[in-house]
Amino acid sequence: MALDMDKLNEFIGRFVGDLGATVAAGNVVIGHRLGLYKALADGPATAAELAAATKTNSRYVAEWLNGQAAGGYIEFAPATDAYWMTEEQAFALTNPDHPIYMPGAYVLALGSLRAVPRIAEAFRAGEGMGWHEHDEEVFVGCEQFFRNTYIGKLIPSWIPALEGVEEKLRAGARVADIGCGLGASSILLATEYPNSHVHGFDYHDRSIELARKRAGDAGVADRITFEVASAAAFPGSDYDLAATFDCLHDMGDPLSAARHIRRALKPDGTWLVVEPYAADGPGGNMNPVGRIYYNFSTMLCVPSALSQPGGYALGAQAGEAAIRQIATDGGFTRFRRATEWPFNIVYEVRP
């Protein structure tokens, strides 16, 4: 069979881009950790100047700068040997409190990839790997990756898309944030709605420990309670709002979680389900966003679900039909896609 050279070259071009991005990932995390992006955003600098400003070694910084510039993450002016950032690069790479902060995603990616040997074994054995068994960078990276979306979307767009929920939160509501991780969503809700009390639950003790610290740092510890609890057995009742942010598909038994949430909600309460953007079948997910999610899901979401009893492993590309089925089987009668953006679908689920 004759090779189609055009197709081969196109495929090799894809490989070159992917390989460059893969090896650049560590340098994005280094830039984030050492403050290199932040310092460069202050104004054009040579390698020596950036190294001096960040108290780093100029030879390493020179190599880092060239890799970043070759990848289009920063700019280079050969005439002056200076490197600089556009407004857009600085916006997306320097401020963890912006709606977009790209380095957090790389922290999560590198942390996830540390599990490759274990996951390769799991492919053969069919075993799971619990969320809690991953490298700490997975927990922190996940927080850093998702928090920016929540800053940009949760308060301005997702809460207002739910019927009557914003009013309840302003007046003072009981909120359960289930599978809360490091509590990024819980803290935003508690900050924006000071009359409400947020109860954050996660089965992972280390995440809860970090979430408590984050709440203290944010000055909202008096209106948040973080507890170690599984989604199918968290304490409390009469919640006005229950929320699962990007975690329902990570559970081995999302059905028991749905049933428990149904019991814990007030009769007029709302379950906010935030899930990765996905079509119902793989055919609709063959795109760059689907690629990100399927690959994270192989390292994190499917192993997490397989590590738990329940028999489910929905994966990060579960799609609306699967989520609706869980909600309906869990005893909910109203299910609606409230809003969406390219990375998430937000469902409103009511008793």
Ligand X SMILES: C[S@@+](CC[C@H](N)C(=O)[O-])C[C@H]1O[C@@H](n2cnc3c(N)ncnc32)[C@H](O)[C@@H]1O
Looking at 20-28, 114-122, 196-204, 343-351, which segment touches ligand X (CB under 6 A)? Answer: 196-204
Per CB under 6 A, does 249 bind ligand X? no
- Amino acid (one-letter) located at 36: L
Regarding 230 and contact with ligand X (CB under 6 A), the answer is: yes
Contact status: 190 vs ligand X (CB under 6 A):
no
Instruction: Work out which of 203, 312, 332, 335 binds ligand X, going by CB under 6 A.
Output: 203
Region from 13-21, 25-33, 115-123, 173-181 binding ligand X, contact rule CB under 6 A: 173-181
Considering only 61, 220, 251, 299, the residue that binds ligand X (CB under 6 A) is: 251
**Which one of 67-75, 211-219, 240-248, 277-285 is the stretch in contact with ligand X (CB under 6 A)?**
240-248
In the bound complex, what is the minimum distance in angstroms from residue 131's beta carbon to ligand X? Answer: 4
Q: Is 205 exposed, middle or buried (0-12, 13-18, 19+ CB in 10 A)?
A: exposed
Q: In this chain, which of 250, 313, 315, 322 binds ligand X, going by CB under 6 A?
A: 250
The stretch among 16-24, 239-247, 262-270, 336-344 that binds ligand X (CB under 6 A) is 239-247
Assess 347 for contact with ligand X (CB under 6 A): no
Query: At its nearest, how many Å lie between ligand X and the CB of residue 150?
Result: 7
- The C-alpha atoms of residue 132 and residue 304 are separated, in whole angstroms, by 9
* Amino acid making up residue 106: Y
Under the binding rule (CB under 6 A), the answer on residue 246 touching ligand X is yes
Which of 245, 271, 335, 347 touches ligand X (CB under 6 A)?
A: 245
Is 240 an interacting residue with respect to ligand X (CB under 6 A)? no
Most distant pair of Cα atoms in the chain: their distance = 70
317 forms part of the interface with ligand X (CB under 6 A): no
**Closest listed residue to residue 326, CA positions, set 200, 189, 231:** 231
Rg of the chain's alpha carbons, rounded to an integer?
A: 22
- Strands 334-341, 344-350: pairing kind: antiparallel
* Identity of the residue, 200 or 269, whose beta carbon is nearer to ligand X in the bound complex: 200
Measured from the CB of residue 66, what is the shortest distance to ligand X in angstroms?
34
In whole angstroms, give the CA distance from residue 151 to residue 99. 6
Q: Kindly tell me which of 131 and 193 has the beta carbon lying closer to ligand X.
A: 131
Q: Report CA-CA distances (Å) from 193 to 12, 159, 240, 275.
A: 51, 11, 13, 23
Which 8-state DSSP code applies to residue 238? -
Q: Does 142 bind ligand X (CB under 6 A)?
A: yes
Regarding 304 and contact with ligand X (CB under 6 A), the answer is yes
Residues 4 to 43: which contact ligand X by CB under 6 A? none
Closest CA to 158 of 302, 350, 351, 337: 337
Query: In the complex, what is the shortest distance from the CB of residue 302 to ligand X, in angstroms, rounded to a whole number?
Result: 12
Look-up of token digits 């700019």: 75
For 66-191, list the strands marked E by DSSP.
75-77, 82-84, 174-178
Over the window 121 to 140, marking each residue x when it contacts ligand X by CB under 6 A and - when it does not, the resulting string is ----------x---------
Query: What number of residues does the chain have?
Result: 351
Backbone angles phi, psi at 344, to 5 degrees: -140, 155
Q: How far is the CB of 185 from ligand X (least distance, A)?
A: 6
DSSP string of 137-168, one letter each residue: HHHHHHHHHHHHHHHHHIIIIITTTSTTHHHH
271 makes contact with ligand X (CB under 6 A): no
Q: How many whole angstroms separate alpha carbon 209 and alpha carbon 228?
A: 9
Q: Between 146 and 158, name the residue whose CB sits nearer to ligand X.
A: 146
Closest CA to 344 of 76, 113, 154, 62: 154
List residues binding ligand X (CB under 6 A).
Answer: 131, 142-143, 146, 179-181, 184-185, 202-204, 207, 230-231, 245-247, 250-251, 304, 308
